[in-house]
Amino acid sequence: MLEFIRRHSRSVVAKALLIILALTFVLFFGITDVIRRFIGKDYMVKVGNVKISPLELKIERARRIGMMREHIQDANDKDLTADILHQLIWENIINQTADEYGILVSDEIIKNYISGMNMFRNKDGSFNAHLLRGFLQRIHIPEAMFLESSKKDIKNVLIKFPFAYISITPEFNLYMRVRREKRSLIFVRLKPSSFDITEKPTQKTLEEFYKNNPDLFIAEETRSFRILELRESFLEKSIRISEDEIKEAYNHSRENGERPYDEMKAELESALKQEKIQSAINEVTRQIEDTLMAGDDVNDVVKKHNLNVISIEDMNSSGKDEKSVVAKLSYKDDVKAVAFSVDEGSDSSFSEAEDVQKNKVYWLLHVDKITPKHIVAYEESTAKVLSEWQTWQQHEKVMGIATDLIAKAKEGNSLDKLAVASGLSAYVTIAFDRFWQLPKEKAPQYADIITAVYENAFELEKTEASYKEIGEDIVIFQVKDIISSTKIDLKDENACRLELQNEIVDDMYQQLVNYLSRKYDVKINFEQLKEIDKSSNQDPLEDVF
């Protein structure tokens, strides 16, 4: 075809074929992008003239999750995506401001910033480029985009830096007085399940209750999946380091001439071995991800690379399954998060973890089956409907008692006397501060109550009352005493000063971002946002913004 066009490039037929070829290319490859730009779907967020594409959001999300992986427990996809989108908006606002004021970030600063991250360092603290490349490979982020994102992080810190030098002396004394304040509570603890319900519901009542409370009768989403494990110890057996390689490493070492070869040989061999292991892991994980993406059978991949397989059947969306082998994994929280973010028949990327013996393991998930959430039909859940209706009646009865006690307490009555008059038991807590965090083994019997309400307690005036649902119980509480302390501890005071300084810096930074956001005209493409939410089976994020 191409040879024919070259030979007859001046003929009418050839020109017609070229036109058809060009139109075909536009129609099948270019028109989508043209339409997206025309209808405004080529961006997720627009900050001034800068557009944040859906791809950039996904890549940034992968970068941040990858960097925070060891700290994330049960991450909520919707909250995490919303936080990252907010952060992207703030960083782009700050980035444009930095550019306007000529704040530049050199390659040397970026290099120092990245090499200072613990996740890219060897055990001896030295920077390991293979760890960085492996990280980028696992989360599928181009190096240039990672560097650009890091540059924005640095500019963010530079803009924020001057706020740390603002005097906090006027606020500090008030802050310390409020911080040292202690309070004690009177409380009444009611268990709805201990209250009898004598009313017998009719069939119509139960059907109406079922109809009005569908969320109570939803069967949770379950997933069946396989975890494929690649262990570093397995690859380590095949790694060999030759004498020539060690000598070459010594010749290129900074300490060549300062320390003899025999003294450095062992540590050079260890470093070379670690580097080869990491390189082998990067190559094997890349091959596995590529072959799975190409549609190869999971069982064939497992056999070819001698992977360890852990099969999980019908794990629910809350991950609560005491019998599940997931509960025994050291990286169980990551498994729960990843398992419910991958489509049926699809695979996750490789993640790095440590087993219970602290050995490195690289794993990915293949989701075999998804059973989505669904409302169980009334005919199949009559017993549950009756049980839930009785539980609801008990809760309403106790809420009526709580509302009555709080109303009377607001009139100046003491909660302990009101409780006695109602045939209930009231208790008084010890005095506690705003940072009550005692472990249960060292705390009194009502530690769980103080832990749940101590923040709310400091929002109330003396004798004011409120309530809190703690588990299945309802606790009504009233401020009994407010105690001001004058005790000064220098160590505590210095820590408080730093804490207040950080809070003020964060507050002023946020005010700056809010001010600049009006200047740069931030626009969020909710239509595009809904499409991404829908494709990832998340609830729409529009209500977050």
| CATH number where 109 lies | 1.10.4030
- For 126-144, the pLDDT digits (tens) are 888 888 888 887 767 778 8
Structural domain contains residue 114: yes
pLDDT given for residue 115 in this prediction: 85
- Looking at the chain, the whole-number percentage of residues with pLDDT higher than 70 is 78
Q: Which one is predicted more confidently, 216 or 497?
A: 216
Beta bridge partners of 353: 361
Tell me, yes or no, whether 476 and 425 share the same domain: yes
Q: Of 196, 531, 136, which Cα lies nearest the Cα of 350?
A: 136
When pLDDT is cut at 50, 70 and 90, the band that residue 234 belongs to is confident
pLDDT given for residue 18 in this prediction: 42
Structural domain contains residue 172: no
When pLDDT is cut at 50, 70 and 90, the band that residue 445 belongs to is confident
Tell me, yes or no, whether 524 and 459 share the same domain: no
pLDDT given for residue 171 in this prediction: 73
Q: What is the DSSP string of 242-263?
A: -HHHHHHHHHT-TTBTTB-HHH
The beta-strand segments (E) located in 414-499 are 427-428, 465-470, 473-483
Structural domain contains residue 264: no
**What Rg value do the Cα atoms of the chain yield, rounded?**
31
Tell me, yes or no, whether 396 and 539 share the same domain: no
User: Looking at residue 343, which CATH number applies to its domain?
Assistant: 3.10.50
Sequence letter at residue 226: R
- Is the pLDDT at 258 greater than 80? The verdict is no
pLDDT given for residue 426 in this prediction: 95
Tell me, yes or no, whether 229 and 201 share the same domain: no
pLDDT given for residue 531 in this prediction: 61
Tell me, yes or no, whether 362 and 390 share the same domain: no
On whether the CB atoms of residues 415 and 476 are closer than 8 A, the answer is yes
- For 320-360, the pLDDT digits (tens) are 554 567 778 888 888 888 998 889 999 998 998 888 888 88
- For 394-408, the pLDDT digits (tens) are 999 999 999 999 999
Domain span at residue 417 reads 182-218+379-483
Structural domain contains residue 177: no
- For 59-110, the pLDDT digits (tens) are 666 666 666 554 444 444 555 667 777 777 777 777 777 777 777 788 888 8
Tell me, yes or no, whether 85 and 133 share the same domain: yes
Tell me, yes or no, whether 354 and 394 share the same domain: no
Tell me, yes or no, whether 343 and 393 share the same domain: no
DSSP letter for 42, please. Answer: S
Structural domain contains residue 258: no
When pLDDT is cut at 50, 70 and 90, the band that residue 542 belongs to is very low
Q: Which one is predicted more confidently, 146 or 71?
A: 146
DSSP letter for 28, please. Answer: I
pTM (2 decimals)?
0.47
Last residue of a domain, one of 336, 351, 372: 372
When pLDDT is cut at 50, 70 and 90, the band that residue 34 belongs to is very low
Last residue of a domain, one of 319, 344, 372: 372
Tell me, yes or no, whether 59 and 113 share the same domain: yes
Structurally, the chain folds into a number of domains equal to 4
Structural domain contains residue 174: no
When pLDDT is cut at 50, 70 and 90, the band that residue 497 belongs to is confident
- For 181-198, the pLDDT digits (tens) are 888 999 999 999 999 998
Structural domain contains residue 261: no
Tell me, yes or no, whether 207 and 225 share the same domain: no
Structural domain contains residue 105: yes
Measure the CA–CA gap between 67 and 311, rounded to whole angstroms. Answer: 27
- Looking at the chain, the whole-number percentage of residues with pLDDT higher than 90 is 24
- Average pLDDT of span 258-276: 81
Q: Of 196, 184, 188, which Cα lies nearest the Cα of 470?
A: 188
Measure the CA–CA gap between 228 and 288, rounded to whole angstroms. Answer: 10
Q: Of 488, 469, 477, 357, which Cα lies nearest the Cα of 414?
A: 477
- For 368-396, the pLDDT digits (tens) are 999 888 899 999 999 999 999 999 999 99
- Is the pLDDT at 420 greater than 90? The verdict is yes
- For 289-325, the pLDDT digits (tens) are 989 988 899 999 999 888 999 999 888 876 555 456 7
Sequence letter at residue 58: K
pLDDT given for residue 490 in this prediction: 62
Tell me, yes or no, whether 112 and 186 share the same domain: no
Tell me, yes or no, whether 529 and 417 share the same domain: no
